[in-house]
Every structure is written in C-alpha cells, then in structure tokens.
Amino acid sequence: MSVQDNFKARLSDFLVASSPISGTTWLKALVFALLNRNLENPKSNHVMFASNPHEYVPFLEIQLYVKNRIPNLDVMPSPRLLATHIPYSSLLESAKDSGCRIVYISRDIKDVFVSLWHFVNAISLKGAFESYCDGVSVYGPIWDHQLGYLKASMARPQCVTFLRYEEMMEDPVSEVKRLAEFLGCPFSEDEEKGGRVEEIVKVCSFDSLKDLEVKRVGELQLSRMKRKNQLFFRRGVVGDSKRWLTPEMIGRLDGLTESMIGAFGSLTP
C-alpha cells in the first residue's frame, strides 16, 4: 500500500518485474550491465562483481518501501532502475500510465516451484506443493502472475516486454540483443563485431555470478527477512524440477497450467 500511495513512476524509469525465483537476479544483472555499459569507467560493466544485483536494482515493496518508510526516490539519478514482484493487476497505476518500460521474466512453473521451495525451506515439499497448486503462494497464483504480464506485453509491446527464462538460457546472445533494443540502448555494429554482447552475457552468466566471493558470503535484507546471498544463486538449471517432483506432480502442474492459460498458448517453450 505504501508503494501504491507514494511511488510515482517516470517515463524514463525501468522496472524489472517477475514472480519470485524466476531468474530475477540474472535479469537484474543483465539490465544493469546493458544500461551502464557506456560509462567512461572501464570497470563499470563489471560493477555487479562488488555486490548482489539486488543492491543495484532494489525492489520497491520489499527493499525501499518497508517498515512504514517512504524514501525520497526523486533524488535517484535518471533513469531509475527498480524492481517489483507485484502482479500486473495490482501494479501501481503510475507505472502503467507513465509509459515507463517494464521487463518481465517468466520461467517454467514447475522449476519456479522447486526453486521457491528451496529458497523458503519452511515446510515439507508435499505440503508446499499442495498449497502451490491451490494458488496459495507469495504474490498470488503463479499462473495469474505470468499471464497478467504476458497480456500486458501483447497490448502494450512498446512499454512491456515478456522474456522467457528458457529461451534466454538457450540463446542468450540473441535475447540480450533483443533486450537491449527494448531498453533503448541497442548494440552498435562495432560493439557486436567486437564481442561486446558475448562479454556481457559471460559477465552476467549464472556461473560467473554464483562463483563470486560476494555472492557466497553476507546477507540481503528483504522486508522483514534476511536471506543469505548464496540462496539467490542455487542452480539455475532448466528442468531442475524433474529431480524433485514425481511424474504425477509434474503432470498435475502441467495440467493446471494448461487449464489456466486458456487460449494464450504456452507460457514457456
């Protein structure tokens, strides 16, 4: 409610959106690197090596507007780079009306569940699975979350883009180039010939990020919780859910996904 009441989006803002544990950390690193790659400091492209990407691209509702705090975000230099897990249906109106650019990343719903269970690690897998299938999950049912942003990207493609984790893992160079185009900072011909795209892909890759010392130590404050940095870099493998879910559980989630998304096709490849 504090975000809804107090945050005013600007046309120049960039908003990284996702449901929890859907590749958010990776996307934050990529967006930050793309928007800052032309700074004079040659080390600026690797600045995410110094801290968790969540420190550079903070969440509105669980980092900035918490504990009745109303930060003065007007002092942030433009363009402001922010993040949210809020579903599109509940997204603040100024973000929808301002024309700011929103980048959303989706991920296979089965893999999201497994990663979220490992991240929270509070109840049994079976109990968490039943709640998840019932739509009881942080930020609401995953199907509504992904479908809301997918519809928005179809209705307002100039303002909202919908990325798929699996496609980014399969062809990161093409997807990063497409992302740069959407952000308004496309790669020049010289950059492409000089391997700039591949450099950013490598710098921001899951393997590069998870091996950094700063990612293995320390904690990040999210709302009322502290989470160890290493929890944000578990595995990042496509299809990891097959290691944890039975064929019956996989079939149930696939069936629910098929029934929920209706005529919009597949949310993931």
Closest CA to 83 of 102, 110, 106, 111: 102
Question: Active-site residue 118, yes or no?
Answer: no
Distances (CA, A) of 70 to 5, 64, 80, 94, 126: 10, 8, 16, 16, 39
Distances (CA, A) of 171 to 24, 135, 168, 197, 201: 18, 31, 5, 12, 10
Question: Which is catalytic among the residues 46, 85, 118, 145?
Answer: 85
Query: Helices 196-203 and 172-183, interaxial angle, to 10°?
Result: 100
Instruction: Tell me the C-alpha distance between 246 and 126, whole Å.
Output: 11
Number of helices and strands in the chain (H, E)? 14, 6
DSSP state of 59: B
Active site residues: 85
